[in-house]
Structure formats: structure tokens, C-alpha cells
Amino acid sequence: MELIYIVTFVLFAVPAAVLEYTENACFGLWERKTAAAHAQNGGYLQFRNNYVLIFSLMMAGDWLQGPYVYHLYEHYGFSVRDIGRLFIMGFGSSAVFGTVAGAMADRRGRKRAALLYVATYSASCLTKHSASYWVLMVGRLLGGIATSLLFSAFEAWAVAAHNSSGFPESLLGDLFTKAVFLGNGVMAIASGLLGNFLVEDMRLGPVAPFDAAIAVLLLGGLAIQVTWEENYGDKGGGQVLGQFQKALQTIRQDPRVSLLGASQALFEASMYTFVFLWTPALSPRGQKLPHGFIFATFMTASMVGTAAAGRLLRSCRLERLMQAVFWCSAVSLAVPVPFHMHMAPAAAMDAMLMYEHEHAGAFNSSSSSRDLLSIDSSSSSSSRHHAAAAAPLPDIELPSMADSAVPGAAAAGAGLDTAGAVQLLAFCGFEVLIGMFWPSMMTLRAKYVPEEQRSTIINLFRVPLNLFVCIILWKVSDFPLGVIFALCSIFLAAAACCQHKLGSITSSMPMPISSKMRKVHVSDDFGQDHKQQQQEEEQQEQQQQLQMPELQAAERQQQQQQQRPAVQFVSVSRAGVLSRRQEQQDERKGSSSQLDRMHRKASSNQLDRMH
């Protein structure tokens, strides 16, 4: 293995470990300092750990499948064109049926939707035991529905449960940071190692990872059934069509929601396009790549971004942070443009396939570029890093080295050149930004997307993404790589502009509908904002101490009212109470004098009659 891969991995592995360790230590210190202000934080930790564990299990069931979907279809003998159609079915199902399933989650319950995810994805995995093309097509349809539920129902449940428990809104960033770090980072690497152990070491075949995914999903489903309580969105929204109409009306009327959805769709479209094409970009002449090691490096870089986001979410304004993420992403994906203005993905794949054909004895098919980097359209997260030009290219007839027409084919199998090393670093930088994107976008959605329509709107955001991916899968081989990367860079710049507009709007508009929770600002324990917060808390305590005598007097007055219901006090002030008491005493004295006079008069009359 070349030194560049090892150096790149270490370059991101060390910061990931340091950032996560210090983040945990800082959060523990921050929690102790704010324990008096937020007594529920102990319950929050229990809630967070439960959600992070279950979400990580769900993501592990997703990650286990990704590297072996293409390999399994190829094992059954399907052509590249047939496999491409299977992939398109997954994305199309997510765009159509998955959107309906997301709307049903708001009306029927998010816990039920999470359990439906377990059922549909397990059923999708079971179809992998069949070599029938149409059975596998049904499996792709189920997988597309499951993907939409994974990236909408779980987030919607977490936000609703967090708000109903009375936890501070600022803790949502910590919740999503931990979930993404473990679910998209640690679980991705662990699932890849487990899948490789089952297929390569135990030689259980390409179906074994799907069976392992079923076991993990069922375990997570059991935890959901036992520990989660049901919550809903808009239960009175009528039929599903009415739910869509309300969601679309919200998107049209609230520019914050529409801008947020546009920036999300643009970024994710660029992200999925990137993962289809990074392999031919790094090996345009068919160089052999250590795909497993590069995948681990990408995951480690993503973990760096997620760990850094844990701090930035508490100290930066989210809209400005996302602007920086989108602009830096646009620069990262612009790096490959000058290197690939004349080579289409099909030409690069020809070179790689030709090299694999000539060196078939050197490494088995499961480690080839098409197998290790296959795309699972029903698993959006795993497909992000296991996709390498998995477009439905026409069936390729492998030529020999002698009559190759691919430029630079003689260099196939050579190491990574300078252009490849530069692009590798740029791609790792993009992965860092992806790691920052997920928890930040989840926190923004929790802030601006209405609670009663959360799942529906999140899935509507994914419709243009899935349609764009289908187009890329169908036409990617017709354009040079440089043109496609340039298009992705333009998309990311447009996303940055949307975020800039969102930031300018939110700075002058009131809190959105979804913020029906108590607004509590918690900043970094080492920043100036934290000192200001402590000063404000001290001032509030002093004001409460000054108001204590008045509160105690009011409590005594209330007790007296309960004991003497016939007496009505006009004022709660001390002067008023004393004045009223004096009046009562005067009245009692007057009544007593009048009675004495009456008794004396009666006694006098009685004596007169006796005489």
C-alpha cells in the first residue's frame, strides 16, 4: 500500500479521536455547570443514549448491506444494464412510495413508522436469497420505502420526544452530533469489517451480510417497542393527500422552510453524484485502488467533521456555519474539474475493468472496484461511500491489453499519481464537510420545520434529490467527469446562496412555528457567551430573592382567604391588608357598642315594668 493512503488516514484519524474525547469531557463539564439551571439533564442523558443506541443499530443494518448489493446481483449473473435498473427502482421507490410513507408517519405515529422501517428493510434483505429478477425488484421497492423512513421518522420522533420532555432546544445539536458520529462513522467502519469477516473469512457467501442486517434490525426494533413512546404530527390532517397539501402550503408560505429544503436537496444531490464518480476520478487509467482503506479514510474524515460540529453548534449561528460548509464544499468538488474535462466515466470504467480482467488472479471479485464500491439505492447512507460509477453503463465487452483503445491503458495498475493525490485530499475535505452537514441540517430542520408536518416535509425535500440521482444513473456516462463535478460545484454554490438568504430572513423574522418549546440558550463553557449567561442567571436569582417577601405576603393572604371565605380582600399589599384589618376592628367595636346600648335599654325597660 502506498504511503499516501496511510498518511491520509492518520491525518484524519488522530483529530477525530482527539475531538471526540475532548468533546465528551467538555460536555461533562458543561453539564455540571448548568445542572442548577437545567435539572432535567440527567433524564436527557438517558434519553440521548437510548436514541443514539437505537439509531446506530438502524444505521448498522443499513451499512451492512451497501458493499455487497452490486456483488450479489453480479453473483446471480445479471448484466450491468439490469443492475442499473434495479438501482433506479430503489431511488424511484424512495421518491414516490417513501414520500407517502413519511406522510403516514405524521398521522399514524412515528414509533409505528420506525417499526415499519424494521419490517420493510428486513423483508428487503430476505428477497436477496432469491435469484429471481422480479423478486429482487420488489426488494428494491421495499428498500426505497425503508430509506425514506430511516431519514425522516427517526428524526421526527427524536425532536418530538425531546420537546415533550422539556429538554432545552440547544441540546438537539448534541443529540444529533452523537447520533451521526456513531451511526454514520463508527457503525459504518464496524459494519464493513463485520461484512468482510462473514464473506471473506467465514466464506458464507454474499448473502451473509444481509442476514446479519436482519438480526441487527430486529434487535433495534425490539428496543423501540420496549423503550419508545408514540408521538404524532398532525393527526387531524384528513387523508394523505390533505397532508401533502398542507406540507406544500407550508413550503410555499414560509420562505425559511423552502430555502432550507432547497439547500438540502442541492447538497445531497451533489453528494450522491460525488460518490458515484470518485473511483473513476482517482483512477482514470484503471489504477488499482485500495477501496476498503479509502472507504475507512473517508469515514474517519467524516467523523472529524461530526466531532467538530458538536462544538460549533453551541458557539456559532447555524445559518452562517452552513454557508461556510456549502462554500467549502463547492471548492472541494471543483478540484477534479481541470483533471477530467475530456474523460467520461465510461472510459475510466473501461480501463478499470480491463485491468481487472487481465489480473483476475491477483484479487478476487469481491475486492474489485465494482463490488466494493457498489451503490445500494435503498440504503442512502451506505451508498454514499460504496458507490463508484454504478450508473447503468452499457454492457462492456472486455478487450485485451493489445487492442485497447483507452488512452493510458498501459498504465493500468500503476499507483496513485500527483493528480490523484490532490483529488484524494480534496475528497477527504469534502467528507469532513459532509460530517458537519448532517447534524447541522438536522438541527436546522428541528428549528424551522413545523412539528405536525415534519416527516412529510422532510420526505418532500428528498423528491428532487431522488429524481436527480435517477437522471445521473441513466446519463452519467454521456458527459466528461469534469463537467459533472463542475455541475456539482455549481449546485453547492447555489446551496450556499440559499443559506445566505435564509440567514438574512431569520435575522429579521420571529421564531418559526416549530419552535413551540422553551427557548434556552446554552453556549460553549469556555466562551464569553457562557459568562454572560452566568451573569444573567445571577441577576435573576437576586431579583427572585428581592421578590420573596412580597410572594410570602401574597401566600399568607391566600391562606386567610381560604380560612374566611366570607371576607374579601381588596388589595394584596401590606398597607391594604392592615387598613382592612383596622376597618374590621372598628366595625367590631361599633357592633359591640351598639349591642351594649341595646342591652342597657332592654334592661331599663324591664326594670320599669317591674316597678
Answer yes or no: is pLDDT of 213 > 90: yes
Of the listed ranges 41-45, 296-300, 382-386, 505-509, the least confidently predicted one is: 382-386
Distance CA 105, CA 233 (A): 8
Residue 551 has pLDDT above 90, yes or no: no
Determine contact, residues 395/79, Cβ cutoff 8 Å: yes
Helix segments in 34-109, DSSP class H? 41-63, 69-75, 80-108
More confident residue, 345 or 131: 131
Select the more confidently predicted residue: 371 or 97. Answer: 97
Q: What percent of the chain has pLDDT over 90?
A: 27
pLDDT confidence of residue 367: 38
Distance CA 604, CA 611 (A): 11
Report the pLDDT value the prediction gives residue 336, as an integer from 0 to 100. Answer: 94
Burial of 459 (C-beta count, 10 Å sphere; 0-12/13-18/19+): buried
Contacts for 167 with CB less than 8 Å, ≥ 6 apart = 38, 40, 41, 43, 44, 47
> What is the distance between the alpha carbons of residues 165 and 563, in angstroms, rounded to a whole number?
38
Higher pLDDT, 404 or 545: 545
Answer yes or no: is pLDDT of 73 > 70: yes
Hey, what amino acid is at 221?
A: G
Highest mean pLDDT among 17-21, 133-137, 146-150: 133-137
Contacts of residues 553-560 at CB distance under 8 Å and 24 or more positions apart, as own/partner, are 553/577
Tell which residue, 170, 160, 164, has the closest CA to residue 34: 170
Residue 446 pLDDT class (50, 70, 90 cuts): confident
- What average pLDDT does this structure show over 550-575? 52
CA 198-201-205 angle, to 5 degrees, is 50
- The span from the CA of 342 to the CA of 536, in Å, is 61
Alpha carbon distance 595, 601 (integer Å)? 10
pLDDT at 480: 85
- With a cut of 70, say whether residue 66 has pLDDT above it: yes
339-374 pLDDT, tens digit each: 987 665 555 544 444 444 333 333 333 333 333 333
**Inter-CA distances, 177 with 15, 70, 244, 505, 506, Å:** 16, 31, 30, 26, 23
Element (H, E) at 298: helix 291-315
pLDDT in tens, 228-286: 999 887 665 556 677 788 888 999 999 999 999 999 999 998 998 887 788 888 888 77
Query: From the CB of residue 202, how many other CB atoms can be counted at a distance below 10 Å?
Result: 10
Among the ranges given (164-168, 210-214, 320-324, 426-430), the one the predictor scored with the smallest mean pLDDT: 164-168
**Tens digits of per-residue pLDDT, 510-550?**
544 444 433 333 333 333 444 455 555 556 655 655 555 56
Q: Could you tell me the three cell numbers for 293?
A: 482503506
Burial 299-328 (b: 16+ CB within 10 A, else e): bbbbbbbbbbbbbbbbebebbebbbebbbb
SS (H, E, C) 433-496: HHHHHHHHHHHHHHHHCCHHHHHHHHHHHHHHHHHHHHHHHHHHHHCCHHHHHHHHHHHHHHHH
What's the average model confidence in pLDDT over 398-407?
Answer: 36
pLDDT of residue 376: 44
State the Cα–Cα distance between residues 573 and 579, nearest whole angstrom.
10
pLDDT reported for residue 515 = 44
Q: Is the pLDDT of residue 564 over 80?
A: no
Determine the pLDDT at residue 42.
Answer: 58
Q: Is the domain 3-397+417-506 a CATH 1.10.760.10 member?
A: no
C-alpha dihedral (548, 550, 553, 554), degrees to nearest 10 = -110
Given a cut of 90, whether residue 321 has pLDDT beyond it is: yes
Of 213-222, 417-426, 502-511, which gets the smallest average pLDDT?
502-511
Grid cell of 213 as nine digits? 442486517
| pLDDT confidence of residue 570 | 38
d(CA 517, CA 521): 12
**How many H-runs (helices) and E-runs (strands) does the chain carry?**
22, 0
Mean pLDDT of 571-596: 54
Produce one character per residue of 106-127: b if its CB has 16 or more CB atoms within 10 Å, e if not. bbbbbbebbbbbbebbbbbbbb
pLDDT tens digits for 15-39? 888 887 776 655 554 444 444 344 4
Q: Which pLDDT score, from 0 to 100, does residue 353 have?
A: 45
Question: What pLDDT score was predicted for residue 400?
Answer: 34
Give the span between the Cα atoms of 604 and 171, in whole angstroms: 85
| pLDDT value of residue 99 | 80
Q: Is 0.75 topped by the overall pTM?
A: no
Kindly report the average pLDDT of the chain as a whole number: 75
Q: What pLDDT is recorded for position 210?
A: 95
pLDDT band with cut points at 50, 70 and 90 for residue 584? low
pLDDT tens digits for 448-500? 998 788 888 888 888 888 888 788 777 766 778 898 899 999 999 999 999 99
* Cβ-contact 94, 466 below 8 angstroms: yes
